[in-house]
């Protein structure tokens, strides 16, 4: 059973159907001049309760992140982010490439979050206008984080406050925005622009799409150069309907929230099940759709022997694995995972300690 990544899941039937239908529908305008692309923008305006929002579909989360950041940060700028953030460790320097050379500055915090107080202290350094120093330009937060935590609107607002006080822009990497939204239980607006987010990478790929993200600007001025940036990066699709129709199907009928809720619930079920096993150590919260955990070696080995797969996180010596659930993870598969883990846990006990 594959619990390795939500990137390895298939796609939701409703999204597959929508894409198939769109491509059987005959010719439409290319490069985003089609009706679907206009429609998805209108739809996002309703969902985010923001009539002037601008949305730019792209195919990958990295493209969304770095195009958004490039609209916020000049080549001589600095982007503040958690050292575990996707842009810092998983995008092969794409942020530097797209911004023309910005610097990433680490701001620590619990569970992959940017600590608002540390951020405020860093932004208070008197570097503004001093030509030698990278100029503070943007703050990046992952909602939810790479460590499994979701920001509350209040946490975001605290970060946004420090960010805007110094004229920086706030970018939210929402590769798992729907999962965070499900956990926090507020409106999309409350979790984004009302809390101070300027631009959002709204991910769909990990939550049921074939491959689609939208760069959602709440601040239209930031979007001024976006269309040129996307085109010159080779990220403007000629058959744009492919991206737009996915996004449309993704938010239609609350599919995104239903998918996310399910994935979150499955991860919660994994955690609750593992929590019953002594010597299992969790390595972070499980607020979204995965569990970071250190399993005793016999359990780990047993699960692998039974065909389960996970991904390792952090330094090998830490023994941490990530167990990821997706929109299509089945309850019975989770239950079997837990049962198998428990079996290996029991086997590994000293004989006298075993039940019965």
Helix (H) or strand (E) holding 118: helix 116-123
Q: Concatenate the DSSP letters of all residues of 288-354 into one string.
A: SSEEEEE--HHHHHHHHHTT-B-EEES-GGG-EEEEE--TT--HHHHHHHHHHHHHHHHHTS-GGGS
> Please, which of residues 139-198 interact with a second copy by CB under 8 A?
none
Report the relative pairing of strands 199-203 and 213-217 from DSSP bridges: antiparallel
Taking the C-alpha atoms of residue 50 and residue 224, their distance in angstroms, rounded to an integer, is 18
Q: Is 38 in the site for a second copy (CB under 8 A)?
A: no
Using the rule CB under 8 A, which residue among 44, 52, 115, 131 binds a second copy? 131
Taking the C-alpha atoms of residue 277 and residue 196, their distance in angstroms, rounded to an integer, is 41
Cβ closest to a second copy, residue 48 vs residue 80 = 80
Q: Is 51 in the site for a second copy (CB under 8 A)?
A: no
> Please, which of residues 86-125 interact with a second copy by CB under 8 A?
88-94, 96-98, 100-104, 106, 125
Using the rule CB under 8 A, which residue among 55, 58, 84, 291 binds a second copy? 58
Stretch that binds a second copy, among 4-12, 109-117, 262-270, 299-307 (CB under 8 A): 4-12
Using the rule CB under 8 A, which residue among 59, 69, 71, 168 binds a second copy? 59
Instruction: Calculate the alpha carbon distances from 1 to 4, 322, 323 in Å.
Output: 9, 14, 11
Instruction: Calculate the alpha carbon distances from 256 to 16, 331, 351 in Å.
Output: 14, 19, 48
Q: Which residues pair with 322 in a beta bridge?
A: 292, 311
Q: Is 85 in the site for a second copy (CB under 8 A)?
A: no
Using the rule CB under 8 A, which residue among 117, 231, 281, 354 binds a second copy? 231
**SS3 category, 271:** helix
Q: In angstroms, give the least distance from the CB of 175 to a second copy.
A: 10
**SS3 category, 201:** strand
Residue 318: exposed, middle, or buried by beta-carbon count in 10 A (0-12, 13-18, 19+)? exposed
> Please, which of residues 206-225 interact with a second copy by CB under 8 A?
206, 210-211, 225
Q: Is 304 in the site for a second copy (CB under 8 A)?
A: no
Stretch that binds a second copy, among 21-29, 108-116, 161-169, 345-353 (CB under 8 A): 21-29
Using the rule CB under 8 A, which residue among 154, 228, 276, 354 binds a second copy? 228
Q: Is 255 in the site for a second copy (CB under 8 A)?
A: no
Cβ closest to a second copy, residue 103 vs residue 269 = 103
Stretch that binds a second copy, among 48-56, 147-155, 188-196, 231-239 (CB under 8 A): 231-239
Using the rule CB under 8 A, which residue among 49, 115, 306, 328 binds a second copy? 328
The answer to whether the CB of 214 falls within 8 A of the CB of 175 is no
Cβ closest to a second copy, residue 92 vs residue 353 = 92
Contacts of 128 (CB under 8 A, 6+ apart): 135, 136, 166
Tokens 């039974």 correspond to what residue?
Answer: 306
Stretch that binds a second copy, among 20-28, 36-44, 163-171, 335-343 (CB under 8 A): 20-28
Site for a second copy (CB under 8 A): how many residues? 83
Cβ closest to a second copy, residue 98 vs residue 151 = 98
Taking the C-alpha atoms of residue 67 and residue 122, their distance in angstroms, rounded to an integer, is 25
Q: In angstroms, give the least distance from the CB of 229 to a second copy.
A: 7
Tokens 């428990």 correspond to what residue?
Answer: 342
Q: Is 80 in the site for a second copy (CB under 8 A)?
A: no
Q: Is 322 in the site for a second copy (CB under 8 A)?
A: no
Using the rule CB under 8 A, which residue among 221, 238, 332, 350 binds a second copy? 238
Structure tokens that stand for 31 in this block: 């490069």
């Amino acid at each position: 059973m594959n619990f390795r990544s939500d990137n390895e899941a298939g796609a939701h039937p409703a999204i597959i159907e929508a894409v198939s239908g769109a491509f059987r529908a005959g010719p439409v305008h290319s490069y985003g001049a089609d009706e679907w692309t206009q429609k998805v923008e209108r739809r996002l305006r309703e969902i985010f309760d923001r009539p002037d929002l601008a949305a730019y579909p792209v195919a990958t989360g990295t493209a969304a992140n770095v195009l958004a950041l490039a609209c916020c940060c000049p080549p001589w700028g600095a982007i503040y982010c958690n050292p575990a953030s996707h842009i810092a460790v998983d995008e092969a320097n794409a942020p530097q490439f797209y911004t023309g050379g910005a610097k990433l500055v680490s701001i620590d915090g619990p569970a992959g979050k940017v600590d608002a107080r540390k951020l405020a202290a860093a932004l208070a350094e008197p570097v503004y206008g001093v030509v030698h120093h990278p100029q503070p330009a943007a703050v990046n937060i992952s909602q939810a984080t790479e460590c499994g935590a979701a920001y509350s609107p209040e946490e975001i607002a605290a970060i946004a406050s420090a960010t805007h006080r110094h004229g920086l822009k706030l970018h939210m990497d929402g590769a798992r925005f729907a999962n965070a939204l499900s956990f926090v239980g507020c409106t999309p607006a409350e979790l984004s622009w009302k809390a101070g987010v300027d631009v959002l990478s709204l991910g769909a790929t990990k939550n049921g799409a074939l491959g689609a993200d939208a760069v959602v600007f709440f601040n239209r001025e930031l979007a001024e150069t976006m269309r040129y940036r996307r085109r010159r990066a080779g990220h403007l699709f000629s058959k744009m309907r492919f991206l737009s129709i996915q996004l449309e199907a993704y938010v239609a009928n609350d599919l995104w929230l239903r998918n996310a809720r399910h994935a979150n619930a499955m991860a919660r079920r994994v955690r609750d099940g593992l929590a019953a096993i002594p010597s299992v150590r969790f390595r972070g919260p499980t607020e979204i759709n995965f569990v970071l955990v250190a399993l005793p070696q016999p359990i780990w080995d047993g699960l692998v022997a039974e065909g389960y797969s996970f991904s390792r996180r952090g330094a090998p010596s830490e023994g941490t694995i990530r167990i990821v659930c997706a929109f299509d993870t089945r309850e019975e598969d989770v239950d079997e995972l837990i049962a198998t883990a428990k079996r290996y846990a029991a086997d590994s006990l000293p004989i006298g300690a075993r039940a019965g």
